[in-house]
Structure formats: structure tokens, C-alpha cells
Amino acid sequence: MTRRSQAVGAYGERCAVRHLIGTGLRPVARNWRCPEGEIDIIAWDGDVLAFCEVKTRRDGSFGSPAEAVVPTKARRLRGLAVRWLAETGTRADDLRFDVVSVRLSAAGAARVEHLKGAF
């Protein structure tokens, strides 16, 4: 991954966190890592614990950001969520897996779309 793509991804995650907080979610972890991968954002939405994958795109040449979350990625994120819950001892009666799509524009603010229960 190039520095530029890392910077774009980091900016997209900051936009996503601001959006989620603005809609009432309470983030509890960001960029949680283990040897198997990373969870971008973990946040409470009321009594639902949401595991959020953030995808940022500068243009539409590779499709929508949400299309980048393929079944293999979704399976890996589910496994990571189980590991995070076990390692942190967090209890949640209801879990959800979301995708937060961030589209950057050449001028103006980024457009953020939050797909709850995306997979």
C-alpha cells in the first residue's frame, strides 16, 4: 500500500468516525489489530455492537466502496469480531456488521454512506 493510499484510507476513517458520532454511535475501538487482520471501527449503536468496515474511494473507477467488501472479507471480519469480543471480555446481546462508504470529491466535503447490517 502506498503512502498516498494509506493517507486516503486514514482520512476516510476520520470522516467515517465523525459521521457515526454525528448519528449517535459511540465508538469504543478504532483500527483494532491482531495477526489475522484489522477491524476499522467498533461502536455501540444503542445496545447493538456494530463492527464497521470503512472503504474510501477517490473516484468510481473501481466501483462503489461497499462493493469492495467481498464474501471473503466479510467472513474474516466476523472471525475478527469473535476474537475481539473474547479478548476484551465485551458482552453484547446483538451484533451487527456495517460498511461505511466514503467517497472523496475534488472539491467539497466527502460523501459518507453508512450501510447498517451490510453482511
For 60-77, what is each residue's pLDDT tens digit?
666 787 888 899 999 999
3-state secondary structure of 31: strand
23's grid cell: 448519528
Residue 79's domain comprises 3-115
**β-sheet bridge partners, residue 94:** 48
- Report the predicted TM-score, pTM, of the whole model to 2 decimal places: 0.91
Specify the DSSP element, H or E, that contains 51: strand 48-57
**pLDDT classification of 81: cutoffs 50, 70, 90:** very high
DSSP per-residue letters across 61-114: TT--GGGG--HHHHHHHHHHHHHHHHHHT---SEEEEEEEEEE--SSSPPEEEE
**Structural domains counted in the chain:** 1
CATH, residue 45: 3.40.1350.10
| pLDDT of residue 115 exceeding 90 | yes
For the residues 42-61, what does the mean pLDDT come to? Answer: 91
> Nearest-CA neighbor of 43 among 72, 15, 19, 20?
20
